[in-house]
Structure 1
Amino acid sequence: MYRKSRVKITLIMLTVALFVFIYYNSPLRANKNYPLANGTFIQLDLTQNWDESKWNSELHYIKQNKMNYIIITGVSFSSENGSKIVYKSNIPGFTKIYGQTDPIDLCLKTSEKLGLKVFVDTYFNSDWWQKSGDDPQWLYDQVYKINQVSDELYNKYHSKYPNSFYGWYFPYEVDNSKFNNLKQFSILSNAININLRYLKSKSERLPILLSPFMNSSCGTAKEYANNWTYFFAHTDLIKGDIFCVQDAVGSGRLNLDDVNPWFTALRKSVNSKPGLLFWANAENFDYVNNSSVPINRFIEQLKLESPCVDNIVTFSYSHYYSPNNIDKGFQMAYYDYVINGKLSVHKPKSPENLAVKTLNKNEFLISWEAPKDNNDICGYNVYRDGILVFNTTVQRRYGGDPKGLCMNFTDRPLLKNNMYSCNYEVKSFDFYGNLSNSSNDVKVLVNVDKELPNVLSKGCRYTIYPLPDYNYNDPYFTKLTDGVYSNSNSSKDKAFVGWYGKPVDITIDLGKKTDLQQISVDYLRDPLPWIQLPDSASVSVSNDGLYFEPIGLLRMPSVPYSERSGSKYRIYLTLNKPVSAKYVRLSSFSNPYTYMFMDELEIRSN
């Protein structure tokens, strides 16, 4: 018994000693016990007009915030417009961009003075986003170009800036939608090894940083971690290389509740590769309106991720928080946290004089005024019946919305049965994320379209032009009039029919000339897989199937800012009086870079 007790005590002491060793050697052990971002990504298009003074200003902010690392991307790239590069290159086929300035030299020069370490990007082909994970030759060809650019970068800059030119950034960001099986990860590991072995052969091997991401709708954390474990076992990654995972919170692919489980699973995978470092790439933006998020959400990400990782960087302080690109309030709030380890909880002043004006039937202009004391205000939230429907925030100078901070919003609520009014209110929020008390509230009346009782279109034949995408097909032209609704708000539900980036005409043959008064369409909206409501949709009718007469537009509702998951929208066109027709055509017009999905199209009458 005594011997067992001694063994137990020894194990506890070793565990404590190991924790202390890790803690005191972790970059996160700064400013006592609260986590900080230790570096930032900078896309070089942001810096295209920066001179040495501007680089010096930016990197001093980075240093002031106790960051030690910079990852620069966009060094060279190919697209349908040709191949571009940011410095004077001798590689055939590349065109120099951003005038005569050399952003790489300016970044490395200033970083050398300030003691910052820079990971340098190489070459990226934008076709990556259209390629599958099963095209090895394409990926290997891109890596050969990476090797070319790496060699030139190393010879041009490393001896000149040996302390700041710290590592390489692998530019192709892997996710679990494109890469989700061992065959694909085998292709990926071969591609990485082509790069790593070339760098080693040229004595240019520096720490390499990879920054993949994940989507919780495309698989589980365990599946993704297992694939990376296989990858680590088959690559030449060494001690000091960095697996720096995007937390995918800003892009919406993970929510905050997902972060710790996914990073915990990936931590176990990283541990299978001795010496490999695990970093988090915390995203400080919101994909819904591409805005900078208040500091409190960013700090919540740091707190969730820090127990799992060795270090944290961000995408991106320079783009979303730096005074060189946005209101200095973000820098002031974040620096306050850097120094004090806590966030202010002081409420900003409330907006004033909220007013609602009726523009059209069920369409309202909401406007308000800033409080008299508004120096600390970052933006405003508009609520309809307690639901956050609109958010506006101060905008970035480069990459932001040129309209800037809005003081009004036009709302077209999705109208549901037993809905007779809407109640609006507005709150301001500061750079920390603190919300004010509500403004005055305003109630307005709405007129709901009542669903007419008789379905005329069930089982009717129809034509579609163009045909749906293969993966979301309607092979027998039955899905849209069969009366079968989706069981889930996901494109994986077989009841849905889908198209990518195309205007679509659907023409229903009612079989005979019939009096009709209402058209209803069930559209899916799911922002992560780029499924959006149409920009517009019109209805026309015909008796001969040749000449169609327009009878109205569907009223596309406003999508609440707070709605982040898949939702179904039933949208109506109700006529004042019936029209008689044999054919009914729905024409839906979508953004060319989004999907459109629907599961039912109904023609109704009294």
Structure 2
Amino acid sequence: MASVFRTVIRIITCIALIICPMPTEKKCEAEFNGTFLQSWMSSYWDDERWQDEIGAMKEAGIKYLIIQDVAHKASDGTWTVYYNSNLDTFAGATFGAADVVESALRNCEGSGIKVMVGLGLYDEWWTKSGFGKDYSELCNVSADMIEEIYNKYVSKYPDAFYGWYFTPEMSNGPLVKLSSPFIAKGVNVIIDAIEHTDADAPLLLSPFFSQYGANPGIESAKLFWASFIKSVNFREHDIFCPQDAVGAGWTIEENLVNVWRMYSDAVKLSGKNIRLWANVENFTSAVAKSNTTGITTPLVTENTQDVTATLDRLVKQMDIASRYAENIITFSYNHYYSPVYVDPMFHNTYIDYLKHGHVLESEAPTAPTDLGFSVDGDGNTVLSWHASTDNFGVAYYRICADGKFLARCEYNEDTAAVIENAQSGTVYSITAYDAAGNASQAAEIVYQ
């Protein structure tokens, strides 16, 4: 089903490109200069870790750091707050291990990296969108947070502070569309609060497009976003920064040109002079097969854990986005590319891409060697091999049985895989892939 779905999208995209070709001129370079960072992750960082991360980010050319929600309301009504707040709303809240806002601004001050602070978020957003009192209360609390955070930190770290991030992730789904007047009203409350502190500080929104379920098509999404943008009191320095949603699977690569054209056309149609940025996703979520696969949920992935996307896919995403957006940021460098957190091969391959004029390295890994079968203590048949080598590092191994995909092993896993129902005469092959997506020659073994 997945192959049929992709084929249909390819045909539609080809027809669309014939009618309206992708722009040849780029609005920005095919590289990211900003990243999102989740508050829970950075709440455990000390200053030494912050400086290590900042050093890596600067080498990667990052200029913008967007901290995600610094106050989160769970479905049971309890708050978790990641800065030193005195707001009555947060009385009795659980506070993070550190003041993330203070730490981010203090460590980024003088570094050249500008910080955008994420406001409040609540679990019920995903089931209610803008309906109900929770959303209006969230926007009022976010307005209070703007005043408190601005007065508490910005005068201390004026060089590091840049703006604000509206954390609820809007989509083209039915609930969002139906509640959009309420959503727009809440965003206006937040913009009013910004105007009363620092009117030059931008507000960033990062929605996404889903091509599954009851969500309408691209043309309908264009009209929706144009109407929504027009209904909000956006200023010319505010930032509409859609996720490309490729990593989460809500959009497939084959549809990216259509999606970015839609966003670009929506901004133009709105009549607002809002800035259009791109949020490219540098990961691949693990999606298991279900009865709703490809209908209301994304297509199945080969990876069984969330993994870093190899650069061949990310470069394609950035190249397409660069034709429509004036700037590109990513979710998330710190989670998936930082050499402080994951294997340095991803960061190093990206730096090599930048140094060589946006040309991706093409040296393939060596083929795996010494393939063999054994039986473990539980009686399972195990296929093992000696690791491949590569100039930057091996990202993962792909295992096939008689040419059909069987399993994938990530770089941080053993060079071994349990083979269920191994059949005599079956040809098993293993191919190594590096961080750039280059593939080795396949190594093969026949199960006897």
Normalising by structure 2, we get a TM-score of 0.82
Please name the residue that 1:269 is paired with: 266
Q: 2:309 aligns with which of 281, 290, 293?
A: 293
Please name the residue that 2:404 is paired with: 387
Do the aligned partners of residues 238 and 373 (structure 1) sit closer, same or farther apart at CA in structure 2, a change above 3 Å counting? closer
* Counterpart check, 1:44 vs 2:39: yes
Please name the residue that 1:284 is paired with: 282
TM-superposed deviation, 1:332: 0.8
Please name the residue that 2:78 is paired with: 82
* CA–CA distance in structure 2, aligned partners of residues 203 and 42 of structure 1: 23
Please name the residue that 2:362 is paired with: 345
**Structure 2: gaps (5+ residues):** 1-22, 287-304
Please name the residue that 1:69 is paired with: 64
**Which runs of structure 2 are paired with 1:341-420 in the superposition (5 Å)?**
341-356=358-373, 364-371=381-388, 376-394=393-411, 404-412=412-420
Please name the residue that 2:437 is paired with: 433
Do the aligned partners of residues 230 and 375 (structure 1) sit closer, same or farther apart at CA in structure 2, a change above 3 Å counting? closer
**3-state SS of the aligned residue for 2:241?**
strand
TM-superposed deviation, 1:256: 0.7
Contact (CA 8 Å) 1:180, 1:227: kept in 2 or not?
no
TM-superposed deviation, 1:48: 2.3
Do the aligned partners of residues 255 and 177 (structure 1) sit closer, same or farther apart at CA in structure 2, a change above 3 Å counting? same
**3-state SS of the aligned residue for 1:342?**
coil
Do the aligned partners of residues 104 and 202 (structure 1) sit closer, same or farther apart at CA in structure 2, a change above 3 Å counting? closer
| Structure with greater helix share of residues | 2
* Counterpart check, 1:58 vs 2:75: no
| Matched-pair identity in % | 28
* CA–CA distance in structure 1, aligned partners of residues 255 and 267 of structure 2: 18
* CA–CA distance in structure 1, aligned partners of residues 345 and 125 of structure 2: 37
* CA–CA distance in structure 2, aligned partners of residues 70 and 38 of structure 1: 9
Contact (CA 8 Å) 1:180, 1:224: kept in 2 or not?
no
Contact (CA 8 Å) 1:380, 1:428: kept in 2 or not?
yes
Contact (CA 8 Å) 1:87, 1:96: kept in 2 or not?
no
Q: 2:446 aligns with which of 428, 442, 445?
A: 442
Please name the residue that 2:203 is paired with: 208
Q: 1:131 aligns with which of 124, 128, 140?
A: 128
Please name the residue that 1:6 is paired with: none
Code of the residue aligned with 1:425 in structure 2: it is S
* CA–CA distance in structure 2, aligned partners of residues 178 and 109 of structure 1: 41
* CA–CA distance in structure 2, aligned partners of residues 335 and 166 of structure 1: 26
Contact (CA 8 Å) 2:282, 2:309: kept in 1 or not?
yes
* CA–CA distance in structure 2, aligned partners of residues 374 and 239 of structure 1: 45
* CA–CA distance in structure 2, aligned partners of residues 332 and 76 of structure 1: 34
Which stretch shifts more, 217-226 or 194-203? Answer: 194-203
* Counterpart check, 1:168 vs 2:164: yes
Q: 2:223 aligns with which of 221, 226, 231?
A: 226
**3-state SS of the aligned residue for 1:441?**
strand
Contact (CA 8 Å) 1:185, 1:227: kept in 2 or not?
no
Contact (CA 8 Å) 2:399, 2:431: kept in 1 or not?
yes
| Structure with greater strand share of residues | 1
**3-state SS of the aligned residue for 2:266?**
helix
TM-superposed deviation, 1:409: 2.3
TM-superposed deviation, 1:302: 0.5
* CA–CA distance in structure 2, aligned partners of residues 180 and 131 of structure 1: 8
Please name the residue that 2:87 is paired with: 91
Contact (CA 8 Å) 1:225, 1:266: kept in 2 or not?
yes
Q: Give the RMSD, CA atoms, in angstroms.
A: 2.7
* CA–CA distance in structure 2, aligned partners of residues 364 and 255 of structure 1: 35
Q: 1:159 aligns with which of 137, 155, 160?
A: 155
Q: 2:139 aligns with which of 143, 146, 154?
A: 143
**3-state SS of the aligned residue for 2:362?**
coil
Q: 2:107 aligns with which of 107, 110, 125?
A: 110
**3-state SS of the aligned residue for 2:185?**
helix
Code of the residue aligned with 1:200 in structure 2: it is E
Please name the residue that 1:518 is paired with: none
Cα deviation code 1:488-527 (max 9, x no counterpart): xxxxxxxxxxxxxxxxxxxxxxxxxxxxxxxxxxxxxxxx
Q: 2:346 aligns with which of 317, 330, 335?
A: 330
* CA–CA distance in structure 2, aligned partners of residues 138 and 373 of structure 1: 52
**3-state SS of the aligned residue for 1:365?**
strand
**3-state SS of the aligned residue for 2:444?**
coil
**Structure 1: gaps (5+ residues):** 1-18, 29-33, 395-403, 445-606
TM-superposed deviation, 1:131: 2.1
- Which structure: larger Rg? 1
